[in-house]
Structure 1
Amino acid sequence: MPRADFYLISKPRFREEPLRLVCELARKAYETGTPTLVLARDAAQAEQLDDLLWSFDPDAFIPHQIVGVDADEDEAEVLIAPPDANVPLRPIVINLRDDAVEGTFERVLEVVPADENARGPLRERWKQYQALGLDVNKHDM
């Protein structure tokens, strides 16, 4: 059964730099050998995440790239897709956009902001995933 995992930001290091949590999630997926797609909110966020994946941990190497930038994107374990990129879903999808992910995947990972005022849309998304029959889980980070 597909699952939706909501990661609630609470630790100071993730509050200061929420994309750091995305890097940690991408690393965990990479370590399991599971191809991952990150749905970036916009092109600027895609580039910011691309840079951070190189630098967030000096001991970590996560093969990644932004869709449409390089020709060999099938080989990258982690693909970062700006909104205008048309790319098939992968087994793990890290969703940074405003809408629920629809389609076929094993897991969708949602990063929930620390700001209580920004959590409303994610509560709706939780209900959407439940309605689609996904196994929904919450993790405090």
Structure 2
Amino acid sequence: MPRADFYLIAKPRFRDEPLKLVCELARKAHDAGLWTLVLARDAGQAEALDDMLWDMGEDAYIPHQIAGADVDEDEAAVLIAPPEVDAPLRPLVINLRDAAVEGSFERVLEVVPADDSAREPLRERWKQYKARGLDVAKHDM
């Protein structure tokens, strides 16, 4: 059964830089051998994630690329997709956008910012995933 995991940002190190949590989740997925698609909110966020994934330390190389015309998707364990690129879904999707992820996947990770204004749309998304029969869980980070 597909799963949706909501990661609620609470710790200061993630509150200041929510993309750090995204990098940690991508690293765990890579270590587990899961092909991952990150749905970035915009091109700037995709580039910031790309930079941060390069900068995870010498012992943490995560093959990743920003999706686009000249990308070899078979090489990139983590594919970062800005909204203007229509990238195929992968078994694991990390969603940073406002809408619930449609289509077929094994697991979706929703990263929930610390501010309350961002939490209301996520409650809606929680209900949508539940209505579609996904197994839904919450994690405080």
Q: CA RMSD in A?
A: 1.0
Q: Show the 5 A alignment for 1:1-141.
A: 1-68=1-68, 70-141=70-141
Supply the distance in 2 between the matched residues of 1:8 and 1:57 (Cα, whole angstroms).
Answer: 25
| Range that drifts further, 42-51 or 57-66 | 57-66
| Range that drifts further, 106-115 or 55-64 | 55-64
| Range that drifts further, 65-74 or 16-25 | 65-74
1:49 is paired with a residue whose SS is helix
Q: Which runs of 5+ in 1 are unaligned?
A: none
| Fraction of identical pairs, as percent | 77
Q: 1:9 to 1:40 in 2, by over 3 A?
A: same
Q: Are the equivalent residues in 2 in contact too, given 1:64–1:80 (CA < 8 A)?
A: yes
Q: Which runs of 5+ in 2 are unaligned?
A: none
AA aligned opposite 1:60: A
- 1:36-70 deviation per Cα after TM superposition (whole angstroms, max 9, x unaligned): 00000000000000000111334211000000164
AA aligned opposite 2:5: D
Q: Are the equivalent residues in 2 in contact too, given 1:38–1:81 (CA < 8 A)?
A: yes
- 1:74-128 deviation per Cα after TM superposition (whole angstroms, max 9, x unaligned): 2210000000111110000000000000100000000000112221000000000
TM-score (structure 2 length as normaliser): 0.97
TM-score (structure 1 length as normaliser): 0.97
